[in-house]
Structures are given as C-alpha cells and as structure tokens.
Amino acid sequence: MTIEPSSASEATHERPLRILALANQKGGVGKTTTAINLGTALAAIGERVLVIDLDPQGNASTGLGIDRRSRRVSTYHVLAGDASLAQAVVPTAVPRLLVAPSTMDLLGLELEMASSSDRAHRLRNVMKDIGRAGSATEGVTYVLIDCPPSLNLLTINALAAADAVLVPMQCEFFALEGLSQLLRTVEQVRAALNPRLTIQGVVLTMVDPRNNLSNQVAADVRGFLGDKVYETTIPRNVRVSEAPSHGKPVLLYDLKCAGSQAYLRLASEVIQREGRLPVAA
C-alpha cells in the first residue's frame, strides 16, 4: 500500500499523516471502542493520535474522559465554520492522544449544511491545518474518525477526508449484512469525492472463540473478504465494556486483559499494513 501524503497533510510532518475513518452503518459493532482503544494503542507505541468524534452520541469523547460540560468547542462548531479544528482539540489522560469531542448539536448539522456546495468536504477542508507548528495538532501522525451508525452526510465527510476506511464488524450471525452497501458507498465516495480512499481492513470484534457460531461467522467473513480482514480479532471481554464508564480506554483500565492486548496487536498490524516502521518511542 502506498503512503502518499494526503491533501490534509500539506503541513510539514516528519512522518506522513494518516487519516482512518472507522465506519460501519450498523450500530453497536465496536466503532467507538476501536477508535478509543486503537487510538490509545497507537499512542502507546509512539504515534501522536487525534480522535475526531463525528457521532452526535459523543461516546468516543465520553469514553476518553471528556465530560459533556467541558465540551466548549466541539466538532459541530468546527464543521459549522465557527471554530478551527485545533480550537476543539483537547488532551486526554493518555500521553500523545488528543480528541476533538462532539455534542448532540451535530444532529442538526446535516440540515444546516444541506444547501451548501462544500457540504461533503467540510471535514476535509478543516483538516488541512492538522500538524501546523504551534497548534494543538502539531506532530499528529494518525487521525481516527469515529463515525455515526449511518451512511449520512457526517460519514460521507469522514470518507471524503480519509486515506482509508477501517471497518469494525461484530462477529455475529448478521455480520455481513449491510457490508455490500458500505462497500458501495466507499466506491461512490472514491469515484466522486476522494480518489485516494482505500480500505485499510476489517476487524472482527466481540469474538468469542468458545462459541461455534462466532468461529463460523469469522470463517465466513474471512472467506468473503480474504486478507482485508485483520489477523487480529478483538475478543468479547467484560473489561472492554466496563472501561468507558470509568472514562478510560481499556488499556488504562486494565492493560493486561485480553481486550487491551488485542488492541495493541491490532495497532501493530495497522502500522504494518501501511509499511510504516514503528516509531522509536
């Protein structure tokens, strides 16, 4: 896979900026959990990571410990043109991990943007500043965009701004349902808005290796998508589901648990797929 600098990485970077959109229009498949914990794992191995919360539910912001009252500037303000992305960015408890939080206001944005000609490129346009020296995003090497469970204008903005899509897929009977629609949307965005868009990979989440159905589904998905599916799978793990209520990524909540270890492996695999050398942290 090529590592062409994206249009959003025009600012000077020692490492090229990579922008990954975590998308799947199915709800509850692990998009946010993956944004939080892959982000944390990438930061733990030396990358500088920005999570952009593009879901009105704001779960990525909450899971990263940003309480609702402190979300003074949010991705809504940024996309509405009222603030820069750097103004929305806040640090988290994880070194090298930043977040641009969201609020419910995002729900109304689609309607507000409907008649503007740049509606699909709002995010891409505001991301041009990422990495600017002296700004809150200086030195960022990875951006992870947490999308809402819909193929709406917010998700289109994420796909138009991204280098690649990372698809979390819950390992359950209907896993593949809706996938063709997602792939079609990626294809349409590539043709109309963003020719460099690729699929980074599909990560199987909430896998229960003791469950025959879970194993069968995993085999089916691999049969269908081949090596687009990461070797690493994320096990169903109670520590992963407990962590957000403490406002912490699972890697801070319980580093040794199976979920944390899986996200660390996923981070290495994501970096490897791009042919990037690990950062000497």
Residues near Mg ion, by CB under 5 A:
31-32, 59
Question: Does 209 sit near ligand ATP (CB under 6 A)?
Answer: no
Binding piece for ligand ATP, criterion CB under 6 A, among 96-104, 219-227, 231-239, 270-278: 231-239
- Quick one: tokens of 130? 């990422």
> Quick one: what does residue 241 bind among Mg ion, ligand ATP, none, with the CB cut-off 5 to 8 Å set by partner type?
ligand ATP
Count other C-beta atoms under 10 Å from residue 203's C-beta.
26
> Quick one: what does residue 28 bind among Mg ion, ligand ATP, none, with the CB cut-off 5 to 8 Å set by partner type?
ligand ATP
Question: Does 241 sit near ligand ATP (CB under 6 A)?
Answer: yes
Nearer to ligand ATP, 22 or 126 (CB): 22
Binding piece for ligand ATP, criterion CB under 6 A, among 52-60, 83-91, 117-125, 181-189: 52-60
Nearer to ligand ATP, 10 or 242 (CB): 242
Tell me how far CA of residue 230 lies from CA of 61, 80, 169, 216, in angstroms: 26, 36, 11, 16
The residues facing 90 across adjacent strands are 99
- Alpha helices (runs of H) in 58-127, residue ranges in sequence order: 59-63, 75-80, 85-88, 106-113, 122-126
Sign of CA dihedral 168, 142, 150, 33: positive
Nearer to Mg ion, 9 or 74 (CB): 74
Q: For ligand ATP, which residue of 5, 28, 95, 108 counts as binding (CB under 6 A)?
A: 28
Nearer to ligand ATP, 29 or 267 (CB): 29
Instruction: Tell me which residue of 193, 197, 137 sits closest to 4, measured CA to CA.
Output: 197
Q: For ligand ATP, which residue of 5, 27, 95, 278 counts as binding (CB under 6 A)?
A: 27
What one-letter code names the amino acid at 51?
A: V
Residue partners of 179: CB distance under 8 A and separation at least 6: 167, 169
Nearer to ligand ATP, 6 or 33 (CB): 33
What is the enclosing helix (H) or strand (E) of 53? strand 49-53
Residue partners of 137: CB distance under 8 A and separation at least 6: 50, 85, 86, 89, 98, 129, 130, 131
Binding piece for ligand ATP, criterion CB under 6 A, among 27-35, 65-73, 102-110, 171-179: 27-35
Each residue 53-72 as x (binds ligand ATP by CB under 6 A) or -, in order, gives --x-x-x-------------
Closest CB to Mg ion belongs to which residue?
32
213 burial level (CB within 10 Å; 0-12, 13-18, 19+): exposed
Q: What size, in residues, is the chain?
A: 281
Residue that the structure tokens 């695999």 belong to = 269
Q: For ligand ATP, which residue of 90, 234, 266, 271 counts as binding (CB under 6 A)?
A: 234
Question: Does 236 sit near ligand ATP (CB under 6 A)?
Answer: yes
Positions touching ligand ATP (CB under 6 A) are 27-33, 55, 57, 59, 149, 205-206, 234, 236-237, 240-241, 244, 259
